[in-house]
Amino acid sequence: MALITRDEGTGLRRGFIRYPDGSPPELDGCRWCGTPHETHGLRWSDAANWHQWARPTHAQVEARTCAHIAHDIPRPALPAGAAPSLLEAAIGAFQATNDHIRDGCTTCTPAALLPDMCPEGQRLALAAVHVLATDPTD
């Protein structure tokens, strides 16, 4: 059982990992402390003590994606010439689906599989993946 507290700055409920500025961690931040891999090194956290960077769980990536969407944090841009990863394409589809739900769709849900979505939700999710997978220089 995790100890739940309230962040004094944001009033949001938090577990062991807290973000003083109220911003959610990077999508690929450490599983234990949220620090990006590039700047992690050896770190201390109450949850894992001294630790190296560890890949976040699928549930953490999904929760962080929702938090980024809720805080209107834009997706990081890809370096010039880089192809999007499967995760980036999935995040684009997830964001398109959430926008569609905010526009009033009652059929689609944020974690719905493509066959369970309405035709318009399917079209928007696939279009988001297509945009990410298409090289604009071609």
> Which of 69, 71, 60, 129 has the alpha carbon at shortest distance from 99?
69
Amino acid at 104: G
Binned at pLDDT 50, 70 and 90, residue 7 comes out as: low
pLDDT-based confidence at 4, cuts 50/70/90? low
Position 119 scores a pLDDT of 92
Residue type, 97: T
Which one has a higher pLDDT value, 63 or 23? 63
The domain locations on the chain are: 12-57, 86-133
pLDDT grade for 2, boundaries at 50, 70 and 90: very low
pLDDT tens-place string over residues 100-110: 888 899 888 87
Question: Which of the residue ranges 5-9, 17-21, 84-88, 123-127 would you say has the lowest mean pLDDT?
Answer: 17-21
Beta bridge partners of 45: 49
Give the residue with greater pLDDT, 79 vs 43.
Answer: 43
Average pLDDT estimate for 107-122:
86
| pLDDT mean across residues, the chain | 76
Following DSSP, what letter does each residue of 5-17 receive, concatenated? Answer: EE-TTT--EE-S-
pLDDT (average), residues 77-105:
77
Q: What tokens appear for 60 in the block?
A: 């953490």
Reply yes or no on whether the pLDDT at 74 is more than 80: no
The pair of structure tokens assigned to 61 is 């990536």
Count of CB atoms situated within 10 Å of the CB of 61: 19
State if pTM tops 0.95. no
The stretch 57-75 carries a mean pLDDT of: 80
